[in-house]
Amino acid sequence: MVDSVFMSELSWPEFEAKIAAGAPVFLPLGATEQHGPHLPLGVDVALPTGVCERVARAVGGLVAPTIPYGYKSMPRSGGGELFPGTVSLDANTFSLVVRDVIRGLGHHGVRRIVLVVGHFENAWPSVEGLDLGLRELRRDGIADMQAMRFEYWDFVRRETLDRLFPDGFPGTELEHASLLETSLMMLLRPELVEIDKAPTDGPANFPTYDRFPVPEGFVPASGVLAVAQGSTAEKGQWLMDDHVALISAAVRKEFGL
Amino acid sequence: MVDSVFMSELSWPEFEAKIAAGAPVFLPLGATEQHGPHLPLGVDVALPTGVCERVARAVGGLVAPTIPYGYKSMPRSGGGELFPGTVSLDANTFSLVVRDVIRGLGHHGVRRIVLVVGHFENAWPSVEGLDLGLRELRRDGIADMQAMRFEYWDFVRRETLDRLFPDGFPGTELEHASLLETSLMMLLRPELVEIDKAPTDGPANFPTYDRFPVPEGFVPASGVLAVAQGSTAEKGQWLMDDHVALISAAVRKEFGL
Amino acid sequence: MVDSVFMSELSWPEFEAKIAAGAPVFLPLGATEQHGPHLPLGVDVALPTGVCERVARAVGGLVAPTIPYGYKSMPRSGGGELFPGTVSLDANTFSLVVRDVIRGLGHHGVRRIVLVVGHFENAWPSVEGLDLGLRELRRDGIADMQAMRFEYWDFVRRETLDRLFPDGFPGTELEHASLLETSLMMLLRPELVEIDKAPTDGPANFPTYDRFPVPEGFVPASGVLAVAQGSTAEKGQWLMDDHVALISAAVRKEFGL
Amino acid sequence: MVDSVFMSELSWPEFEAKIAAGAPVFLPLGATEQHGPHLPLGVDVALPTGVCERVARAVGGLVAPTIPYGYKSMPRSGGGELFPGTVSLDANTFSLVVRDVIRGLGHHGVRRIVLVVGHFENAWPSVEGLDLGLRELRRDGIADMQAMRFEYWDFVRRETLDRLFPDGFPGTELEHASLLETSLMMLLRPELVEIDKAPTDGPANFPTYDRFPVPEGFVPASGVLAVAQGSTAEKGQWLMDDHVALISAAVRKEFGL
Amino acid sequence: MVDSVFMSELSWPEFEAKIAAGAPVFLPLGATEQHGPHLPLGVDVALPTGVCERVARAVGGLVAPTIPYGYKSMPRSGGGELFPGTVSLDANTFSLVVRDVIRGLGHHGVRRIVLVVGHFENAWPSVEGLDLGLRELRRDGIADMQAMRFEYWDFVRRETLDRLFPDGFPGTELEHASLLETSLMMLLRPELVEIDKAPTDGPANFPTYDRFPVPEGFVPASGVLAVAQGSTAEKGQWLMDDHVALISAAVRKEFGL
Amino acid sequence: MVDSVFMSELSWPEFEAKIAAGAPVFLPLGATEQHGPHLPLGVDVALPTGVCERVARAVGGLVAPTIPYGYKSMPRSGGGELFPGTVSLDANTFSLVVRDVIRGLGHHGVRRIVLVVGHFENAWPSVEGLDLGLRELRRDGIADMQAMRFEYWDFVRRETLDRLFPDGFPGTELEHASLLETSLMMLLRPELVEIDKAPTDGPANFPTYDRFPVPEGFVPASGVLAVAQGSTAEKGQWLMDDHVALISAAVRKEFGL
């Protein structure tokens, strides 16, 4: 029997057996989005998938195929849709994908599902997709689905942030393509990180509003919103350790595993 | 610079440079669908992705992230939605995803796009998605997008089919989880093939109509519609060679590469 | 009492009585599409309606009003949307129409429904419409609807095809506006066939892919994909006999009539 | 050449020639709806189609295939959705059908279109469908489409109404399945009228509001809202003469024919 | 405790208590639409809100927040979308808003709902929204919602109309921005009425059809379809008295209050 | 001439004149949502409307009618949909409303629009609505619309927060129905504040994830997420002064007023 936490690597009888045993299913919600000149477009797929893989292993769960296109990048959190290579879905499209996948999983007996956001802008459309999916399942007579939904980066200890940012954490939004994501990529996919290309034009200094069309100079030309310098695989490991430990604990607690 | 045909592995400036140079972009359209007890749920992601990777290398193109959830499995071509692990999208959802991705690529300067279907049921919804995407691009002032759309398995020489099926080719629809897909998986992902679990309850004997709800016994219990026995990686190589050679030739001809 | 299999010709009490008696309802799915210079735009309405009329008479069923606009014509099977007079619906529109009609019939007590496709491109959107309709009915508490769905031309005996095509059958797709449809129209609506205008520029020689925008010369200028010469009402009768006999038998078998 | 005003009876070159000559296209918007025990379910298809046929002949126009399923029947104007045989579309579905047909006609060069409502409840959804269709055409660069939209029964002279209703006209809404429609059906499809079954439980006495769910007794049990007695084919002819004369005059005036 | 019929002025426990006591909820359906040079854009919000406030007080009900954007203005009943300040929703959007609000109210225990149209063009889209909302509630297991839906101006006594229009009532459609609405605004919001700016270019003389694009001169330049001269607050009071008395009576009767 | 910044209080010629003069239009995005036992359901309508009114007066702008129903309340920021009186729209519905209003304003010549969010959960759906609206306007040939979008509460000086929260600001999300909103309501609508009913069961202690269905005790029973005690109209004035000054400055800067 194939030993894998990835649903895509299991045959249907293997999947069936895992679900019958109560395995929670993790659905990573990624994106195809610019992450500066030193990181690839697939960062938001690689990271939540990597986190889910480790958490699933820890708690006996499965990882459904990562949704690789996310909701539109916003200038203040991802640089915006104008950067080449950022290819996104309308909110309605994204939410319908999440709805349909949840509905499909529910019809096959899954009763514990965890949506893991790996792209800031997916937060709200994933809420809507989850709500729509649960609504449909209830109408189909499946009222006992249990679900969690979160952004993986929120599972980090204060001490770790302090270690990573001795001068103070700039906040989640500005961390796009910056120290956290770069360090995690150096851990997971070092061959795709060109750290010498990390720009120095950040951090961005955004106003408290969105502006359309995006004015010239609103976003750093590199697409990096804060600072990537100082990233290391070791720091990525600190983060990953926190993510896996804290998420696993939360999942176990909520689902009684 | 990262050397990869996968868009997800390139940074945005690398992507931008390739597109500026006229690279065609391949979009594999996969599925998460049962493929019998001997193949994993991700066959329809692995195969078109593998084909696109090789063709993109041959013609200087890029491969966009594979859409991992497809249109609903039909009993007569994929076993149907009742097999555990088959998780699908509504047609409208699937077409909107295709539309949005095409629109996004077009807005970033892509002018040659190739939709590569790796799941039978994606055929028509991908036509619609392409039509909607091109319509939106025209309304956005982009009227010169060139596109191709096909099923990869249609690019095979008569001689190859005759070699593979000395007793006659049963037809594309019945080939679900059978000799062609199994052989290709043995070539690309041998560690995921459990050939000893290949069932012997096929081939299916379908009537010329769909039937809802699907009657008991309509589909072979294994989910394999024809016969997987006799699959080998070598046969997979014959197929892959045809797919890559014929698709590359068609793309070069149509796009003048 | 009006004696008719056409639902549109019955009063509501007459319809109610037939449904209470268990009559299956046939829904022909047509199109308004070019069929060459020798056939009218309404071929895909006339033929499935004619088939359904005869089958309904044979099995004691009713024929719901034919949906007269179909899914978009594809170049390789219908010539494409550029031919004057081809007026089509988006896939989502078409599927919603099918969904709504099925839901309405189900709410009035119909429990046996047969979707009869008379236009190649309606195949998949009718699958989706049927799936959506049945889903809504289940949510409305109606879980016992039985349905069939097919293309009428698939109900033909091998012998008949051999008689019609002594040199070999070119395949369903290419038969657009060709021998089969022309012969059936000569049987059903001879006054609308201008056989002397049947072109000789076919058969089409299509590649194994779709191409957008459709290149000059991709489709025969006449819109006829194969060959219409040799069509006769007698051949139409051979076909109709097969269609009615085989469909009636399948409906009786599936619905226990 | 086939001589017909029905688009469905023309070949594509014949259609093309008529449109090139400036022919207006009439689109009848019908329904499948109960019309009492004495009239068939297809009244709202037969009547606007019959009117359009005559007007098209008078002004040199064409009649596109009648949309046979309409917007939901309302209790106060059509008896409501609970009568067996009334099969309707959601408003969004209906409007999308109208939108798509208008868009398709516009893309083929039609520049004069006339929506002819034959079912009271289609009025507003046809307005929306027309607005959406024209909007799409403008975005496709077609800004010179001219359109009219109306209910055919509004084209009647005061004198004719006075002749038909010596005791006063009860109003359009209540006329469902009553004198006007019955007389017109006796003119156009006498074999489908069972005048001896015309009920005597009308006219309905509705309040000034809708009520959901529809209370018992809100609608006459027969589905006839006023009175059908006294209907004759001769009266149908009076009406038809008015409809054809007044609509033709309006179309000529607006389109400069 | 706050004493108000406006839901927006109650806290959630206050709302909960009223609903538990069986209070019907009134939902005014307004618009932002031109009403001539003498009336503000918000007439269709102010009037149904004012009517609902008084009726709710009379029958012990609540008024939900008025929907302030309505369905598109039609030339023959509201002047059309071209008048500055008329800002409208697509029909689908409007119906979805109504659907969602009804669903939300139903989930909180409301079982008596009254849709009060204050803008002619909202009539049909509100029917659809109500139908969709009730459908969703039934699928959510709430089958006992009772609803009414009407235009407030239909609740007026013959005598009152005779008093207001000694020369005959021109009909509801033409009353846009004319005597009825102006008088009611003089009663409710006199500071917003500039009666000296009431134009004299009416009444409009419309044909029996819609025309797109709207021809020059089709609508009076002022946007007033009939005549506003002679409006007084006293006449507004006559109308308001009728509206409140007749609507209250109907609501009491239907809901057994 | 009526002197008002509220669009609903202007006649169409008055609106037209203001827009021709370049007035920016503010669109407040509200909600109908529980705000604890001491505040009314309409807080999220009253506050952004009040802010917009003052800013519009300061910069010569107009305030469009406030959208009174918002996106679904989330447990961690608004208590969730289960509190009586919280009536919300699906994300798609909400975004379509925003899209349609922006499109309508753009067609009437508005070129400066400001979306002002008054309900946390409206943030993302308003982004999508704005994006869809601008996209449609571009397709309609209007490419020069300038837009801003923000949450009004983000316009506050550090000093003010320090004055308001000597023990540290708990963060925007937890501020639901707490000190900020209560103080602002005491300023704007003191008659609707029942400060003695302010609960003491907060502040909420939320985990870093959403949980469905919402577990018992996840949200404080009162619906107040932090602490309302200590609220005063004077503090509301501090906040309002900041909001108006900072927003006005930002609008002037961005729009060059």
Residue with tokens 């000034």: D208
Q: Among B132, B135, B136, which would you mutate to test the D interface (most chain D Cβ atoms within 10 Å of its Cβ)? A: B135
Comparing CB atoms, the residue among B128, B209, B254 nearest residue C211 is B254
Q: Which one of the listed residues C175, C181, C242, C243 is annotated catalytic?
A: C181
Chains that touch B (3 or more CB pairs under 8 A): A, C, D, F
State yes or no: pLDDT of C2 exceeds 80. no
> How far is C32 from chain D, CA to nearest CA, in Å?
7
In the set F119, F151, F242, F243, the catalytic residue is F119
* Beta-carbon contacts below 8 Å between A and F: 99
Residue D1 lies in a domain: no
Residue C35 known to be catalytic: yes
- Report CA-CA distances (Å) from D182 to C38, D33, D34, D100, D108: 38, 14, 13, 32, 37
Q: F30 in a domain, yes or no?
A: yes
CA angle A152–A154–A158, rounded 5-degree value = 135
- Evaluate whether F41 touches E16 at the Cβ level (below 8 Å): no
**B257 CB-near residues (< 8 Å, 6+ apart):** B22, B24, B59, B60, B251
What is the pLDDT, as a whole number, of residue B1?
A: 67
* Residues of B with catalytic roles: 33, 35, 44, 119, 121, 176, 181
Report the CATH number at residue F79: 3.40.50.10310
Answer yes or no: do B147 and C211 touch at CB < 8 A. Answer: yes
% of residues, chain E, pLDDT over 90: 90
pLDDT above 80 for F55:
yes
Amino acid (1-letter code) at residue B35: H
Provide the 10 A C-beta neighbour count for residue F19.
Answer: 21
Cβ neighbours of C139 in A, within 8 Å: 139-140
Known catalytic residue: A176?
yes
Q: Is the pLDDT of residue C5 over 80?
A: yes
| % of chain B beyond a pLDDT of 70 | 100
Annotated catalytic, C243? no
Contact criterion met (CB < 8 Å) for B128 and C91: yes
> Which chain A residues are Cβ-neighbours of B13 within 8 angstroms?
37, 84
Using alpha carbons, list the distances in angstroms from residue D230 to B191, D162, D167, D226, D236. Answer: 82, 14, 13, 12, 11
Mean pLDDT of D54-73: 98
Is pLDDT larger for residue A204 or for residue B255? B255
pLDDT digits (tens, 9 = 90+) for E69-117: 999 999 999 999 999 999 999 999 999 999 999 999 999 999 999 999 9
Closest Cα in chain E, distance from residue A139 (Å): 6
Q: Does residue E229 carry a pLDDT above 70?
A: yes
Between CA B38 and CA B58 the distance in angstroms is 31
Nearest residue to F45 via CA among F185, F179, F173 = F185
3-state secondary structure of A112: strand
- Of C117, C148, C128, C98, residue with least CA distance to C29: C117
The domain of B55 spans 7-255
pLDDT classification of D1: cutoffs 50, 70, 90: low
Query: What per-residue confidence (pLDDT) applies to F1?
Result: 67
Q: What does residue F142 show for φ and ψ, rounded to 5 degrees? A: -110, 100
Q: Which of B167-176, C42-51, D54-63, E180-189 has the lowest average pLDDT?
A: B167-176
Average pLDDT over residues C166-182: 87
Predicted confidence (pLDDT) at residue C14 exceeds the cutoff of 90: yes
Res. B202: pLDDT tops 80: no
Q: Residue C17: is its pLDDT beyond 90?
A: yes
Taking alpha carbons only, the member of C253, C254, C248 closest to residue C59 is C248
Q: Which of F35, F38, F53, F175 is catalytic?
A: F35
Closest CA to F100 of E93, D181, B119: E93
- Cβ-based burial of B74 (10 A; exposed 0-12, middle 13-18, buried ≥19): buried
- Asked if F touches A (at least 3 Cβ pairs < 8 angstroms), the answer reads yes
Q: Looking at the predicted structure, is the pLDDT value of residue C173 above 80?
A: no
D163-179 confidence digits (pLDDT tens): 999 988 877 777 889 99
Mutate to test the interface with E, among C92, C99, C136, C139 (most CBs of E within 10 A): C139
DSSP state of C178: S
**Mean pLDDT, residues F199-221 taken together:** 91
Average pLDDT, chain D: 96
Q: Note whether residue F1 is domain-resident.
A: no
Query: pTM of whole model > 0.80?
Result: yes
Contact state of A212 with F134 under an 8 Å Cβ cutoff: yes
Q: What's the one-letter identity of residue E162?
A: D
Residue type for position C191: E
| Residues of chain F found within 8 Å of residue B139, distances taken between Cβ atoms | 139
Using N-to-C axis directions, what is the helix angle for E91-107 and D91-107, rounded to 10°?
160
The helix/strand count (H/E) of chain A reads as 8, 5
Contacts of F40 in chain E (CB under 8 A): 2, 8-11
Beta bridge partners of E146: E112
Q: Which residues in chain A touch residue F92, judged by CB atoms under 8 angstroms apart?
A: 91-92, 95, 128
Write b or e for each residue in C129-138: b if 16 or more Cβ atoms lie within 10 A of its Cβ, otherwise e: bbbbbbbbbb
Q: Could you tell me which chain D residue has the CA closest to the CA of F142?
A: D139
Per residue in B87-110, pLDDT tens?
999 999 999 999 999 999 999 999
Mutate to test the interface with D, among E114, E173, E208 (most CBs of D within 10 A): E208
Residue A108 annotated among the catalytic residues of the structure: no
Binning pLDDT at 50, 70 and 90, where does residue B182 land?
very high
Q: Calculate what percentage of chain B has a pLDDT beyond 90.
A: 90
Average pLDDT over residues B213-234: 93
**What is the separation, in whole angstroms, between the first and last Cα of chain B?**
24
Q: Are D70 and D95 in contact (CB under 8 A)?
A: no
State the amino acid at position B201 in one-letter form: D
End-to-end CA distance of chain D: 24
Of residues D54, D8, D26, the one with CA closest to residue D240: D54
Partners of residue C118 in chain D, C-beta under 8 Å: none
Chains touching chain E, criterion 3+ CB pairs below 8 Å: A, C, D, F
Asked if residue E149 is part of any domain, the answer here is yes
Which residues of chain B make contact with A7, given a CB cutoff of 8 A?
32, 41-42, 85
Best to test chain C binding among D12, D32, D34, D195 (most C CBs inside 10 Å): D12
| pLDDT at position E119 | 97
**Mean pLDDT of the B122-126 span:** 97
DSSP F216: T
Tell me the residues of F at the D interface, defined by beta carbons under 8 Å apart.
139-140
Q: Is B1 a member of any domain? A: no
CA distance A136 to D45: 36
Name the residue type at position A250: A
The enclosing H or E element of B103 equals helix B91-107
Q: What is the identity of the amino acid at D11?
A: S
Confidence (pLDDT) at E210: 95
Comparing CB atoms, the residue among C95, C149, C210 nearest residue B210 is C149
What are the DSSP E strand ranges found in chain C?
25-29, 62-63, 112-117, 146-151, 210-212
Does residue F145 sit within a domain? yes
Q: Which two tokens stand for residue E170?
A: 């021109």
pLDDT band at C1 (very low <50, low <70, confident <90, very high): low
Q: Is the pLDDT of residue C200 over 90?
A: no
**A-to-B residue pairs, Cβ atoms closer than 8 angstroms:** 186
Structural contact between residues E45 and E64, judged by C-beta atoms closer than 8 angstroms: no
Q: Is residue C2 part of a domain?
A: no
- Where are the alpha helices (H) located in chain F, listed in sequence order? 12-20, 43-59, 75-78, 91-107, 123-139, 158-164, 179-188, 233-255
Total Cβ atoms within 10 A of residue D224: 31
pLDDT of residue E169: 86
CA F79 to CA B105: how far, in whole Å?
Answer: 40
In the set C38, C44, C242, C243, the catalytic residue is C44
Cα gap A150→A134, rounded to integer Å: 16
Residue C121 lies inside a defined structural domain of this protein: yes
Number of structural domains found in chain A? 1
Mean pLDDT of all residues in D76-85: 94
Which residues from chain B sit within 8 angstroms of residue C208, using beta carbons? 150-151, 154-155, 250
pLDDT by position in tens, chain A (length 257): 678 999 999 999 999 999 999 999 999 999 999 999 999 999 999 999 999 999 999 999 999 999 999 999 999 999 999 999 999 999 999 999 999 999 999 999 999 999 999 999 999 999 999 999 999 999 999 999 999 999 999 999 999 999 999 988 877 777 889 999 999 999 999 999 999 999 988 788 899 999 999 999 999 999 999 889 999 999 999 999 999 999 999 999 999 99
Q: E212 CA to chain D: closest CA distance, Å?
A: 5
Measuring CA to CA, which residue among C79, C82, C110 is closest to residue C219?
Answer: C79
Q: What is the ipTM of this complex?
A: 0.97
* Confidence band for C171, pLDDT divided at 50, 70 and 90: confident
Across the range F176-192, mean pLDDT stands at 96
Residue F59 pLDDT exceeds 90 = yes
